Amino acid sequence: MTMQQTDMATYNFAYLDEQTKRMIRRAILKAIAIPGYQAPFASREMPMPYGWGTGGVQVTAAILGPDDVLKVIDQGADDTTNAVSIRAFFQRVANVAVTTHTKDATVIQTRHRIPEETLRKGQVLVYQVPIPEPLRYLEPRETETRKMHALEEYGLMHVKLYEDIARNGHIATTYAYPVKVEGRYVMDPSPTPKFDNPKMHMSEALQLFGAGREKRIYALPPHTEVVSLDFEDHPFEVQKFDQPCALCGAEGVYLDEVILDDKGGRMFVCSDTDHCEKRREEGHRGPLAAEAPEMHS
Amino acid sequence: MSDQPLLRVNAVTKYYGGRIGCDEVTFSLWPGEVLAVVGESGSGKTTLLNCISTRLPPTSGTVEYRMRDGQMRDLYRMGEAERRLLMRTDWGFVHQNPADGLRMTVSAGANVGERLMAVGDRHYGKIRAAAGDWLGRVEIDVDRIDDQPRDFSGGMRQRLQIARNLVTGPRLVFMDEPTGGLDVSVQARLLDLVRSLVADLGLSAIVVTHDLAVARLLSHRMLVMKDGHVIEHGLTDRVLDDPQEPYTQLLVSSILQV
């Protein structure tokens, strides 16, 4: 808000020019119309390397308005490099309000996680996607995978899960776990842990996926059926943690391992930093909370 | 054998630009019958096989197939989805090089189970049991079920490829030089296996080979091709014992006698 007008003059609102934003919005509309379908778009060069969220940034730039409140997370955290730099980028080029609070945000760009707090109507979750094609693991030909999507030939997806069970005794895929959308398209939910898959199902929020290098956008409109693939005798299940968050004591949330020293000391803390801070403000305490330094947002 | 053909090939012609691949080939295949297509390298055998199995659209001519409901359907007038479904359920295709027909980076069990999963099988235990059963039937030890085909010998790979094709109980199997690249004793075992499987399951098959011994052992009837044309056809024993065309006579007489 304290930006000088002279700085703004060098950029169009939200960095991309209006024609590019219209092109991306068309792809987004198409993707929303066909849930789970990978709509191609003319991905642009962005001032960041591929793999740092060029797809997500373009989607965010195309949907952002002056009144939006933006939150950016990387692995659930608001304070890691990728999150901080993308948030600063949009503050600079769009002059929008930013927040770390999930409930205050209208647009949330994420790499890997869905916030623990249930998203509500009107919010948009933008995912940064490295490889949008779920069938790529077993079928390297793009022409062939497109045909397989068109003809709904998804047997190959189960071959991958079969291999998992044959090698490990259980489905060992823990992230980028394939889902079927509205009984039609099989979709890669980007490298989110499978812990978050159930949150996609029937979500009230709009979910948009942008893959910059692969030039694909796909979407889950609100209230879309999202089913994780599995076998009848090996049903889908999410990760379970045998201890609560060390800082806020939360259970049933996704935890990150933090190494404390070189003597094997470690703790498990909420990957969603906003959720963790909120709980601590409310007075929840985990077993290591007293020793941990106070965190700021 | 039924009195109605399973497959009817009518004047199938394939041109590669001005060059002939195969020219005006017409024949029918009846249920339970094994047909061998023989001829030297470049005679159009594989082109013909690819045209019939919808892997290569012919320049002209039709290929009709009797579906499980008894309807005779023109393969090239079907939708692609239906054709691909047919290829992975009711048909099998055994490639000369097993690496073309197998997924080399997934286990033997997943290779055999892939077709089952493709038609909607979603029970891991049942898929694995079926895969184990089929490995046994093609004489691969069941304890190799989790090994990848790249750890298998050439003969084992070829047998695995056959199991992978037969698991959905197809009615028609195409084989392109199934014993090519295998040494003689392995060839003999494989032929023995294929012959008993074909007889037990009542399969129809079209076998492309340059090896007359393979044709003699496996097939009931044979077509002899030269320069894209079918120059002679008839019962295998008749063609091999009493060849009419000079080229066929040459082919038969050039078999090494040990």
* pLDDT tens digits along A165-183: 999 999 999 999 999 999 9
| Block residue for tokens 């979500």 | A203
| Block residue for tokens 């004489």 | B139
3-state helix, strand, coil in chain A (%, to 5): 30, 20, 50
Answer whether A151's CB lies under 8 Å from A134's CB: no
Q: What is the ipTM of this complex?
A: 0.85
> Using the 8-state DSSP alphabet, how is residue B9 labeled?
E
| Model confidence at B197: pLDDT above 60 | yes
Answer whether B232's CB lies under 8 Å from B27's CB: no
Identify which of A138, A153, A232 has the shortest CB distance to residue B123. A232
Mean pLDDT taken over chain A: 91
Q: Model confidence at A1, in pLDDT bands (50, 70, 90)?
A: very low
Cβ–Cβ below 8 Å for B117 and A163: no
**What number of helices (H) and strands (E) belong to chain B?**
10, 10
- What is the rounded distance in angstroms from the CA atom of residue A70 to the CA atom of residue A241? 30
Residue of chain B whose Cα is closest to the Cα of A229: B122
SS3 A63: helix
Query: How does pLDDT run across B158-179, given as a tens digit for each residue?
Result: 999 999 999 999 999 999 998 8
pLDDT of residue A2: 46
Query: How does pLDDT run across A266-276, given as a tens digit for each residue?
Result: 999 999 999 99
**Structure tokens belonging to residue A90:** 């949009």
Helices B184-201 and B154-166, interaxial angle, to 10°?
Answer: 10
* A218: nearest Cα among A194, A195, A185: A185
Of chain B, the percentage scoring pLDDT greater than 70 comes to 98
| Model confidence at A63: pLDDT above 70 | yes
| Block residue for tokens 């080979």 | B209
* A69: nearest Cα among A102, A96, A101: A96
pLDDT of residue B211: 87
Query: How does pLDDT run across A128-138, given as a tens digit for each residue?
Result: 999 999 998 88
A-chain CB neighbours of B128 within 8 Å are 162, 166
Cβ–Cβ below 8 Å for B110 and A163: yes
| Model confidence at A9: pLDDT above 60 | no
The chain A residues in contact with chain B (CB within 8 A) are: 138, 147, 151-153, 155-156, 158-159, 162-163, 165-167, 230-234
Cβ–Cβ below 8 Å for A159 and B123: no
pTM listed for this prediction: 0.86
Other Cβ atoms less than 10 A from the Cβ of A272: the count is: 27
Helix or strand run (H / E) with residue B110: helix B108-118
Q: What is the DSSP secondary-structure string of B126-184?
A: HHHHHHHHHHHHTT--GGGTTS-GGGS-HHHHHHHHHHHHHTT--SEEEEESTTTTS-H
Identify which of B107, B118, B123 has the shortest CB distance to residue A163. B107
Query: How does pLDDT run across A100-148, given as a tens digit for each residue?
Result: 999 999 999 999 899 999 999 999 999 999 999 999 888 899 999 999 9
